[in-house]
Structure 1
Amino acid sequence: MNTSLINQLTESVGTDKVSISEGDLYRHSRDESSHPPVEPDVVVYPESKEEIIEILRIARENDLPVTPFGAGSGLDGHAIPINKGISINFERMNKILSFNPEDLTVTVQPGITRKQLNKSINRHGLQFPVDPGADASIGGMTATNASGTTAVRYGSMRDQVLNLEVILADGSVINTGSRAKKSSSGYNLNGLFVGSEGTLGIMTAITLKLHGIPEHTVTARCTFKTPKACAEAAQSILMSGIQVLRMELVDADSIRQVNLTGEHSFPEAHSLFLEFSGTVASAEEDANLTKELVLEHGGENWERADSAAESNELWRARHELAYSFRHIKGMANSGGDVCVPISQLADMVVYARKLIDESGLLGGVFGHVGDGNFHTLVVYDPGESKQASASARINDLVARKAIEVGGTCSGEHGVGLGKMKYQELEHGAALSVMKSIKQLLDPENRLNPGKIFS
């Protein structure tokens, strides 16, 4: 333990904000991914940007890396401090700094979670709609350009961010935008820092767009005989111009696993989960048109919810999916997400399902097919090297195929550690531009080193 480092940190930010406890070091050594854990040297819980500036100063003086930590819900190792050093936890920076309902904007600290934010603003008839599933921090969601089930309507975090207050590696503070809804002034620095995974700067304030809460929502589910028919129906719905709020694909194997784990009796077939929102008339019309379309594509078991309780029950198979695979005793799991052009979606879903079936492993294909984004999740015995290799091979082939057909190796999980090997294949000569930007803003490679690219 570096006693001098601990003393410097406690003198600068306070004893109660610095921890080297076994529990804190363990917690900040990992996220929800399967990447090997690495404990930081120390964890710091700042409460202001001034304290972060001090932490960075101390890191420079002691030549230590700094790794931001949000809620720890990442799926590709973004928050793992692979070079140890200082882990900065933002949970105490969880305030709303300014709320402007008349402008449909809010400025928040990075540690506030999406549920905390919505709890504060929903009473004003407003919502922040990006929903990655986990109650992730807004800072973490911004750092990875998260999206989720509502992306088909609202887009990703990059579409929601108006301005960022960012502390650079040298301690200087910049703003990347304004509260205006659009701008053609200067380079788009918002787009640069959103998705940078803490490698270019540390966000201390985030200004977001807000949206009105829809008057009426309709939820429905239907099944198909093949995953290809399921994906083709999704494509047809999108091409029809129907305003879908959520459109999720869950394959039959995933439904079967959810039934087994949760003692449910959902139809064990390839399924589309759908949600429509707007006025009563528009949401009902969209739901009725969609029903006609899916029946034309061979859809069966059309079921819709007429109350909040029924809607929650209808979505249960989707919400419990990851849990049903990840909590099989003695087994490990791996998975990833890719995003492809909508025209390639059906073939990609079939390809991923075929790889899992040929491996003999238990696994599922599911995702936010409304924007071409889907996931694979494969379960394997960590004591069996052949199973571990087969699982890794599936993820590798799906990522490479996605890039080959004009897509990306990561639609919403980010690069972190797991998708670094695909960056040159996907970006080509543009990767050298990215590395030049990193070198310019962080010449000592202090901020979350070893992520996105080596």
Structure 2
Amino acid sequence: MGDAQRSARADEADGDERGVVETLERALPGRVLRRAADTSDYSHDRSHHPWAPAVAVVRATSTDDVATAVRVCRAAGVPVIARGTGTGLEGGANARPGEVDPITGTVPPRANVVIIDLQEMNRILRIDPDSADATVEAGVRRSGLNPVLAREGLQFVAGPGVDASLGGMAATRASGTNAVKYGTMAENVRGLTVVMADGTVVRTGGRARKSSAGYDLTHLFIGSEGTLGIITELTLKLTPIPEARSLTVLSFRSVEAAARVVQRSLQAGADLARAELLDTVQIAALNAYSHTDFRETSTLFIELSGETRSLVGQGERLDAIAESEGMLERRSIAPDDQERVWQVRHDALPAAQALRPDAYTWSTDVCVPIAHLAQCITETQADIEASGLVAPIAGHVGDGNFHLAFVLAKGDDAERHRAAALYRRMIRRALSVGGTCTGEHGIGEGKMSDLIDEHPSGVPVMRAIKRALDPEGMLNPGKMVDSRGE
């Protein structure tokens, strides 16, 4: 192909992109961004996975806006990606860079995709204290919702440490520190409004506490990462704010001992509200980043919640178990200081990054049965030490979920290959004991092969569902499952 033909091909592609953008601008005036400098901030999440600027961003303010954008893009054959706050860690909201053109040998400067940004869909539509439920738009965040709910003595409990949007949390089946007591998003959402691949609007579930009416469409979309439909509204289960909370920081010689404390506490019937483990490297990183003075060894943050009179007995049982496992130090956190200490825990990833400011982080997670937690963390720690890598560990150990954050030098292929090998061992170890390749980060584009390893007979079913609901591959293409695969 000559230069003139290459130029004509590029002009044709540019024309297609301009066409869909101009149509969007007419349909949604004032809601469309088109310059690469403006779309770049919306075209990726917090992960290390590659991305490119989208051809446009639609800043939606309603379900109707989302449906309109989807219909316009479908007519033009341009895929869409729904985006909340961009806090994901597996590239689930990334606009993927184009493939090398086999004829021209070039890579397109823009990703042929439109981002639908949901952050401005941030209205709390309804709160019913008597039924303990609420309906919100997808862009609402826990940080905005819970102060309003607190006036009624209620709270919404599910959510990661980052201030993610509730729509994004449902799309990724997020959980977080409270999951050990209250469950994940899957257990705390009763119904959804979803825009489908053809722009139609579907409402799933409802406000009833249980239902046997047909397929469970609500939970089909929860965790689907925007590949089956775009969540625009959610009906949420609410819970009462507990009468009292106690937070204790416990130090141990090893992660194995710390993990056993959690396992034994759960076996003894302890009502743990949160149980977080941080290894020596992670606690040292937090001390430096957050200016704290925790003992730099394997550490548990354990919260109990409930009636005041019940916490005393539970705390005594927890202390007895901790002492029998060689507890080095116990620190009770005053009520007024508890939220600050939890914020320190939530700063784990930026604290890890700060260990090597010029590096980048690759954060991943697995989840295993509680009985295998101590073994899996201990063996992962041994792998890290043997590799020479910087990779702090933190985990929601009350439900068997732990995270590892590789902190890697940019451009260092040797480090990246060592990290990839360690990562594969971590995944294989989790699967070998009946665990999962991800407890809460999701699949995105980073764990697609791991999903096949975990569910070799299930992935074809997932692909069939994807093809049935999105036959043209319009929604978040190239994520979770490849609908073109066999």
How would you bin the TM-score normalised by the shorter chain?
over 0.9
Corresponding residue for residue 36 of structure 1 = 50
Query: What's 2:107 paired with?
Result: none
Residues 18-417 of structure 1: matches in 2 within 5 Å? 18-82=32-96, 83-309=111-337, 311-312=338-339, 314-315=341-342, 317-327=344-354, 328-417=356-445
CA contact (8 A) 1:224 1:269 kept: yes
Separation (CA, whole Å) in 1 of partners of 2:414 and 2:388: 11
- Residue 422 of structure 1 corresponds to which residue in structure 2? 450
Cα distance, 1:253 vs. partner? 1.5
CA distance in 1 between counterparts of 2:196 and 2:86 reads: 22
Question: 1:266, 1:317 within 8 Å by CA — same for their partners in 2?
Answer: no
Give the C-alpha shift of residue 129 in structure 1.
0.8
CA distance 1:430–1:279, shift in 2 (3 Å) = same
Q: Which amino acid aligns with 1:75?
A: L
| Residue 316 (structure 1) shift | 5.6
- AA aligned opposite 1:153: K
Residues 342 and 269 (structure 1 numbering): CA distance in 2 closer, same or farther, change over 3 Å?
same
What amino acid does structure 1 have at the position aligned with 2:28? V
SS of alignment partner, residue 187 of structure 1: coil
Distance 2:130 2:288 in 1: 48
- Look up the equivalent residue of 1:242 and give its one-letter code: A
Q: Deviations over 1:37-61 (max 9, x none)?
A: 2211000011121222211111111
Deviates most, 246-255 or 281-290: 281-290
2:392 match: secondary structure: strand
For the 8 Å contact 1:259–1:265, the answer to whether it is kept is: yes
Following superposition, the deviation at residue 315 of structure 1 comes to: 4.0
Q: Secondary structure at the match of 2:209?
A: coil
Q: CA deviation at 1:317?
A: 4.7
Paired with 2:329 and 2:130, the residues of 1 have a C-alpha distance of 43
CA displacement at 1:273 relative to structure 2: 0.6
Deviations 1:190-209 (A, max 9, x none): 11110000000111211110
Counterpart AA for 1:56: V
Residue in 2 that maps onto 1:440: 468
- Over 3 Å counting, the alpha-carbon distance change for 1:211 and 1:43 in structure 2 is same
Q: Which runs of 5+ in 1 are unaligned?
A: none
CA contact (8 A) 1:352 1:376 kept: no
- 1:435 Cα deviation after fit: 0.5
Tell me by how many angstroms 1:306 deviates.
2.8
- The one-letter amino acid paired with 1:65 is P
> Hey, what's the Cα distance between the residues in 2 that align with 1:47 and 1:313?
33
Q: What is the aligned counterpart of 1:10 among 8, 25, 28?
A: 25
Cα deviation, residue 143, structure 1 = 0.3
Query: Quick one: structure 1 residues 260 and 205, their matched pair in 2 at CA, closer, same or farther if it must change by over 3 Å?
Result: closer
2:21–2:55 Cα contact (<8 Å) kept? no
Asked whether the equivalents of residues 338 and 407 of structure 1 are also in contact (C-alpha less than 8 Å), the reply is yes
| Greater displacement, 255-264 / 370-379 | 255-264
CA deviation profile, 1:401-426 (whole Å, cap 9, x unmatched): 11121011010011001110111111
1:109 touches 1:139 (CA, 8 Å); kept in 2? yes
Conserved? CA contact 1:221–1:314, under 8 Å = no
Q: Percent identity between the aligned chains?
A: 38
Q: Secondary structure at the match of 1:124?
A: coil
Name the SS of the counterpart of 1:406 in structure 2.
coil
Q: Tell me by how many angstroms 1:7 deviates.
A: 2.2
Does the 8 Å contact 1:247/1:275 carry over to 2? yes
* TM-score, normalised relative to structure 2: 0.90
Q: CA deviation at 1:336?
A: 0.5
The alpha carbon displacement at 1:21 in A equals 3.1
Query: What's the TM-score, normalizing by structure 1?
Result: 0.97
Once the two structures are TM-superposed, the CA of residue 75 in structure 1 deviates from its matched residue by: 0.6
Q: Secondary structure at the match of 1:85?
A: strand
Q: Deviations over 1:131-164 (max 9, x none)?
A: 3000000010000000000000011000111011
Amino acid at match of 2:249: R
Cα distance in 2 for residues equivalent to 1:372 and 1:438: 30
For residues 237 and 343 of structure 2, what CA distance do their matches in structure 1 show?
29
Q: CA deviation at 1:313?
A: 5.2
